[in-house]
Amino acid sequence: MYNISNIKSFLLKLQDEICAFLVQEDNNIEIKKDKWNYKDYNGLSYIFKKGTVFEQVGVNYSFINNRKMPKSATVCHKNLSGYTIQALGLSIIIHPLNPYIPTSHANIRFFLAEKLYEKPVWWFGGGFDMTPFYGFKEDVVHWHKTAFDICLPFGKCVYKKYKKWCDEYFYIKHRNEQRGIGGLFFDDLNKPDFKYCFEFVQAIGNGFLIAYQPIVVRRKNYLWGERERQFQLYRRGRYVEFNLIYDRGTIFGLQTNGRIESILISMPPLVRWEYDYKIDENSVEASLYRDFLPVKNWLL
């Protein structure tokens, strides 16, 4: 049976581990710890900014209690009208300063829906994805191989299923392009039982740094200049567009009248848009669109 205390303990421990990684790789970064309460929400947020490796990072734990079920909370459970929810989760969004380090995002969440005289309904969601500005096949293969290894103990088709879900979810329809190179995404996970589901999300959370840290170590000392910076800021615009238009976490927070600083913690500190932006087809920047953003099997 579900145990919210165990989930909370895991999420807070993972939050500490992510924070330790950030300090290890960027010991010049500023850290703000924010323990907050807002209406039916409470949480613990760590904001890292103005580093030499990472420009801004949010590592946000939040808990919501006794709120009516918003439409964005689930796509599968259509019969939960009138239920109240408890929801807790950890979200990580890393915006590097160095354009050769990819932006990365991870999220784990748990929902418990309850109604008088009805059986409670619970489920997990989450995953991780990566958004490079300059693509390196070595990095992308490592990222997806790690995701495959995480999933394999839970079923031979799990990676394929959740990679496909990630590719479909992080698709920017109005741009007709992927947000990044994908990863894993799942939602409404409550089968076959709680033990399986909780072990799976723990594997996802613990595997995030295994997937991401080696990429940071390989790329953080790459030299970059104004050209790379301007392309990074332009591509961040895609990240903002997706999060404000499509992201279910953002929509959920707004529908529940949540704490806006926590809802928008994923936004990059600087971004730019340019009208009718064109890229030289022979440039290294064009390689991102041609060689990395199209959906493919990176494990072949």
In tens, the pLDDT along 95-115 reads 999 999 999 999 999 999 998
Residue 34 lies inside a defined structural domain of this protein: yes
Mean pLDDT over 56-79 rounds to: 76
Q: Any known ligand binding at 66?
A: no
Mean pLDDT to the nearest integer, 171-193: 97
Q: Does residue 95 have a known ligand-binding role?
A: yes
Q: How confident is the model at residue 75 (pLDDT cuts 50, 70, 90)?
A: low
Verify whether residue 105 is a known catalytic residue.
Answer: yes
Average pLDDT, the chain: 94
**Structural domain range at position 152:** 4-292
- Asked if residue 136 is part of any domain, the answer here is yes
Candidate list 29, 53, 105, 266, residue with the active-site label: 105
Question: Residue 150 has what pLDDT?
Answer: 98
238 is in an annotated binding site: no
In a domain, 300, yes or no: no
pLDDT for res 77 = 65
- Tally of structural domains, the chain: 1
> Who contacts 20 (Cβ-Cβ below 8 Å, separation ≥6)?
none
* Domain membership flag for residue 124: yes
31 is in an annotated binding site: no
pLDDT band at 291 (very low <50, low <70, confident <90, very high): very high
pLDDT score, position 70: 63
The answer to the question of residue 88 being in a domain is: yes
> pLDDT value at position 10?
98
91 annotated to a ligand binding site: yes
Q: Does the pLDDT at position 234 exceed 90?
A: yes
How would you label 266-288 residue by residue, b for 16+ Cβ within 10 Å and e otherwise?
bbbeebeeeeeeeeeeeeebeeb
Q: Is residue 236 part of a domain?
A: yes
Residue 79 in marked binding region: no
Taking 60 as the threshold, does the pLDDT of residue 222 lie above it? Answer: yes
Q: Is the pLDDT of residue 262 over 70?
A: yes
Q: Would 298 be classed as within a structural domain?
A: no
Answer whether residue 68 shows pLDDT above 80: no
Summarised one tens digit per residue, pLDDT across range 122-169 is 999 999 999 999 999 999 999 999 999 999 999 999 999 999 999 999
Determine whether the annotation assigns residue 215 to a binding site: no
In this structure, what CATH number is given to the domain that contains residue 274?
A: 3.40.1500.10
